[in-house]
Structure 1
């Protein structure tokens, strides 16, 4: 294991798996909390197989059901419940921290991007990444790596939130009953058609991230898929009465469950305008024909036009004056502050191109841009630990939002949800 911010060394992992963890616990008794960079389920599964247990081809979901839940750091579990106790020991009372979240469909490179922002060096032997990335086996089984929200924190106190894919067939397959209803309660305890619950999960996830993050990366594959643009426009439409984690409206937990949308709106008047994380739109797996500079400028203009009437646009203008002038993938339009932050990452396998930047160089520049951004500030100073506790309360507001439930009823009655 590694310290919260440092890179791990798993070179002795196999030799330790069958031994008791007690000596290690005693040895590190007075040191800072430790955190696995590898996904806990995968490491623990290796432990079980090491002792001579049958090494069958069990899928990760069946392994997950046999492992103790204490091993998971997920903030948001596969049952769609928010857990603060698992990650809380790794947070402090520090108030100078940044929260970066990511959202996007399966296989677009979300976890890879988050590993890059963390500073993980994939070339170092014996190192496992902070966030598990899609393997050949995962793709072959049509599975997804990330469940709910998986957090990590760096030594620079950057909290990274990797999320399960949206619009994912594998997520839908895991939550659908034979009769077509959903096994996951996403809204008021009511049983919904799985397809509707699945779509609502994507919206709720987007609303939560835009409420509790400073920066949100919105990742799409290619330049012709605008599903994520539509999702974030819907998130903007429905993110009403949802405060940021420092809001005074969360200061009275005893009355929290009975707080109405109107009361929250009234209390938010004291804080100011509704909070919205700064978005960075990332398009991955691009080919040479998609990377022509004039084409990318047109893409950025289309993106800016699409979100011109949203809260994201208002947030962009508020942040423009305090942003540092840093390099991006397209220096020719950096001087135009009216355009949204967007990045275009070439395909990892597009190695023949000498005309445009490489995959690894583009990822590094994205990391540089994200870490040098000046995202919006929460309305008040809040510590890491209080941010986490209040984020759990915000999740309850999201799940019980009357605005989102009205939208859900409209989708249900019209049948206009994804099938």
Structure 2
């Protein structure tokens, strides 16, 4: 099986992308998606649709985990304005929201083969600080035996870290320019240079033959990065109307985008995602049922983590 999780800031399109990777197509009504996207009413209120962690299992034995937004201003506003009683270990609302986000990220880093980091602009330096903090606070991989002080951990190999994919959603035409594409890879490579997360070598836009004329030699270091353009429903109609109004002949021609269509890009991303390595998450082989029990045990460990508690005290 393959376990794919997602994290990202509010409104970046996490639920939509996870639905398209798992069971839906761009042509379907978004109201029928397995992971519900933001409704217009929620967008106008500045709210978030997903709460906690939702999961969906496909026939290809892929488990998709959709999560609530990290560092959400709406969740913080809800905590402050509704006088929600904080757990005793948290003194301030913003500390509670940040620690909740770190718990989710640390959990995904332990139970997923692949974690997708969704951004809708390039790039927020605070997001990389958050990823490094979550990596630091990630619980250690449980040993094969129940004896936590035994020597099995050191015998069975190094600590487990997932593959991480940086997904640039709602990309503009200039983002697909080879020079900008190269610069984005260089920035992510520099920011993640000291991370143990597997951020290079397992997902490639160049292997999809999406960017014509580009070879592997063009990129000094190709990180796991994929670009998705704005969906055609949002931009194509405006482009065609503008062209038809000025030059009627343009209405007979397909609009020039400067990149493949959204549907094509999603299809390529899904193919690459299903081909990601399915390595062992723990020191024992897990079935779907065993993974669920394993994930529940990890979540309990995250909630009781002394490292997270100590970090929470430092924030105060």
**TM-score, scaled to structure 1:** 0.63
CA distance in 2, matches of 1:110, 1:227: 18
CA distance in 2, matches of 1:226, 1:360: 29
1:289: how far off? 2.7
Gaps of at least 5 residues in structure 2 are 240-255
Summarize the alignment of residues 347-362 of structure 1 with structure 2, pairs less than 5 Å apart: 347-348=230-231, 349-351=234-236, 352=239, 353-362=256-265
CA distance in 1, matches of 2:264, 2:9: 23
Which deviations, in whole Å up to 9, do the C-alpha atoms of 1:14-40 show, x marking residues without a partner? Answer: xxxxxxxxxxxxxxxxxxxxxxxxxxx
* Structure 2 counterpart of 1:341: 224
* Structure 2 counterpart of 1:296: 181
Query: CA 1:149–1:360 in 2, change beyond 3 Å: closer, same or farther?
Result: same
Pairing partner for 2:293 from 370, 373, 389: 389
Query: CA 1:124–1:395 in 2, change beyond 3 Å: closer, same or farther?
Result: closer
CA contact (8 A) 2:165 2:199 kept: no
The alignment partner of 1:248 has SS state of: coil
CA contact (8 A) 2:15 2:37 kept: yes
CA contact (8 A) 1:287 1:350 kept: no
Pairing partner for 2:95 from 186, 196, 212: 196
* Structure 1 counterpart of 2:275: 372
CA distance in 2, matches of 1:388, 1:364: 28
Which deviations, in whole Å up to 9, do the C-alpha atoms of 1:43-63 show, x marking residues without a partner? Answer: xxxxxxxxxxxxxxxxxxxxx
Q: Is 1:327 paired with 2:208?
A: yes
CA contact (8 A) 2:121 2:168 kept: yes
Which deviations, in whole Å up to 9, do the C-alpha atoms of 1:41-94 show, x marking residues without a partner? Answer: xxxxxxxxxxxxxxxxxxxxxxxxxxxxxxxxxxxxxxxxxxxxxxxxxxxxxx
* Structure 2 counterpart of 1:224: 123
1:328: how far off? 6.5
CA contact (8 A) 1:277 1:376 kept: no
Gaps of at least 5 residues in structure 1 are 1-96, 253-258, 413-419
The alignment partner of 1:161 has SS state of: strand
CA distance in 1, matches of 2:30, 2:191: 45
* Structure 1 counterpart of 2:65: 161
Aligned CA-pair RMSD: 2.8
CA distance in 2, matches of 1:143, 1:366: 28
* Structure 2 counterpart of 1:49: none
**TM-score, scaled to structure 2:** 0.82
CA distance in 1, matches of 2:225, 2:106: 20
The alignment partner of 1:234 has SS state of: helix
* Structure 1 counterpart of 2:114: 215
Summarize the alignment of residues 95-174 of structure 1 with structure 2, pairs less than 5 Å apart: 97-124=1-28, 128-174=32-78
